[in-house]
Chain A
Amino acid sequence: MSEERTPGFNTLAIHAGAQPDPATGARVTPIYQTTSYVFDDVDHAAALFNLETFGNIYTRIMNPTQAVLEERLAALEGGTAALAVASGHAAQALVFHTLLEPGDEFIAARQLYGGSINQFGQAFAKCGWTVKWADTTDAESFRAQLSPKTRAIFVESIANPGGIITDLEAIAAVAKEAGVPFIVDNTLATPYLTRPKEYGADIIVHSLTKFLGGHGNSIGGAIVDCGTFDWIGSGRYPSLTAPCPSYHGITLAETFGNFAFAIAARVLGLRDLGPAIAPMNAFLILTGIETLPLRMQRHCDNALQVATWLKGHDEVAWVNYAGLDDNPFYPLTRRYCPDGAGAVFTFGLKGGYDAGIALVSNVKLFSHLANIGDTRSLIIHPASTTHRQLSDEHRERAGAGADVVRLSVGLENVDDIIADLDQALAAI
């Protein structure tokens, strides 16, 4: 019996979940571009529909290319299982669809991606799910929002649009005390920079569209089940512990143990709501993940140099990057993501709104668009784009005041990135 090694992160990023194709020997995971899968016989079909055996039925629910992506994400995050879906928003919708009943509440940090603020506050309200907002920089503000109806706590590890590192352990302690799962969106950090399970997360969500896929070519999302929450002991999550009418009365938590949440999100949420990931997108994101450790480190190294350079520029009023040693969140960066504070951050222009418009118009290498986590460097002026519908006051509270510019620093030569900002700032 040979001694078992625990593979390192780089090895998992390349190999986890992917064996040579059993039918052809293809070494790279094939794109299984099919809607459906032939049953071996009638009994096999029945066993699959009853969840009695493992296997493929229909690509809305599972797909072998997607499955490799899921196992790899679970391995990188240290979870028991994962579910890949059509987008980060779809991942969040399925997480809460699995956890909540009409009338339930959850607490979310107010420092979130703007799209999540809309989804939680508006779309979820139509389902009878109420979000209570708290301050991600203050764990006590979460405790203050607890009620008997609270069923989950949600934060981002590095809060979009950057500059804030969440003290995960402090907020995890509040969730644990309240007996509710702690959900962490780890999109901006990726498991290369921080692994929230190690700090008490029970469920991790991702937009795979960003640094995990990393090439700006595919939309995708994922849910990672950390296998840490005791659903049966809690008894407050009927999707997991009540007999399932659509599966002959089995209870998922009892049948699937410490990966029951991922199974529930798939066989109830994904089955019934339908936001499946395309096999092609799963393949492109998988390919991206193989180089995640290399890319993420370079993203962070470039971002630190760009942030440092901007701080010394006459047109720049302030730079909010948690990797700078004078940033108030720098101690949390050292604790939670010592290899880097990510590659997305904001800075302020002394020239305000007009200077912001001029900067995004003047850049030649940066792309002016509404995404982050691409090989390419990206820039956006939130006040004139993503946040233009908000009042001045709301824009300020969201960290998207008139003077704010957001960067997602790419993998180009850092001298070229800085030179582009230099010429664009000179022309303001």
Chain B
Amino acid sequence: MNHDSYPDAYIRDILVRHRTIAMVGASPNPSRPSYFAMKYLLGKGFHVVPVNPGQAGKTILDQPVFGTLGEISEPVEIVDIFRNSEAALPVTREAIRIGAKVVWMQLGVRNDEAAKLAEEAGLKVVMNRCPKIEYGRLSGEISWAGVNSRTLSSKRPLLGPKGGQQRALRRDV
């Protein structure tokens, strides 16, 4: 995979195929980007499991926080890494160990060594992207903010189940 430029179909496929996201570095502080992303993804129907050793046993956005990926009892599909690029390597090793399908590193986070390990283990890898922005971009929601979605479509956007101002990802484009 070329990690400088991902095909939209690759990102879309990850976001429509998987539901359970472990968010490593989730924050209880409502002004942090990780809080924004977690709240948005919960609103889109994802099951988000926050991981943060300092918050273990507490809750963030009503979701119980785990200290490590290994402590999560249910299967995790996407590991979303809100840590620095260096820390992404050990988190990726743990993601491989627990059988995750995707390692996703946030905007500004990139670790090519970790990406290589994950891909060799059969995982998909996304780096330097935010799942909230990607969901908003591919569903068309982000276009309301004048953002260049870099997508063209002559298909009607799909409305989300929750109301007129929500959109969902189409599987057929």
Residues of A at the B interface (CB closer than 8 Å) are 1-2, 4, 7, 11-12, 15-17, 19-23, 25, 37-41, 44, 47, 50-56, 62, 64, 66-68, 70-71, 74-75, 79-84, 243, 247-251, 254-255, 257, 259, 262-263, 266
Q: Is the CB of B107 within 8 A of A55?
A: no
Which of chain B's residues 18-45 have a Cβ closer than 8 Å to chain A? Answer: 30-31, 33, 36, 39-40, 43
A7 with B152, Cβ < 8 A, contacts A23-B164, A44-B163, A47-B43 known: yes
A22–B149 Cα gap in the complex (Å)? Answer: 17
From DSSP, what is the main secondary structure of chain A's interface residues? loop
Q: Is the CB of A54 within 8 A of B146?
A: no
Query: Which residues of chain A come closer than 8 Å to B142, judged between CB atoms?
Result: 54
A80–B146 Cα gap in the complex (Å)? Answer: 9
Q: Mark B60-76, 1 if CB is under 8 A from A, else 0.
A: 00000000000000000
Nearest to A84 among chain B residues (CB) is: B146
Band of interface residues on B: 35 or more
A67–B146 Cα gap in the complex (Å)? Answer: 5
Query: Which residues of chain B come closer than 8 Å to A82, judged between CB atoms?
Result: 146, 148
Which of chain B's residues 146-160 have a Cβ closer than 8 Å to chain A? Answer: 146-150, 152-159
Q: Is the CB of B39 within 8 A of A22?
A: no
The answer to whether the Cβ of B143 comes within 8 Å of any Cβ in the partner chain is: yes
Query: Which residues of chain A come closer than 8 Å to B39, judged between CB atoms?
Result: 47, 52-53
Residues of B at the A interface (CB closer than 8 Å) are 7-10, 13, 30-31, 33, 36, 39-40, 43, 107-108, 130, 133, 136, 140-150, 152-159, 162-167
Query: Which residues of chain B come closer than 8 Å to A68, judged between CB atoms?
Result: 143
Among B7, B130, B136, B149, residue most surrounded by chain A Cβ atoms (within 10 Å): B149
Q: Is the CB of A19 within 8 A of B157?
A: yes
Residue from the list B10, B13, B165 in contact with A37, Cβ < 8 A: B165
Q: Is the CB of B148 within 8 A of A64?
A: no
A310 to chain B, nearest CB (A): 40
A115 to chain B, nearest CB (A): 24
Q: Is the CB of B165 within 8 A of A71?
A: no
Q: Is the CB of A19 within 8 A of B156?
A: yes
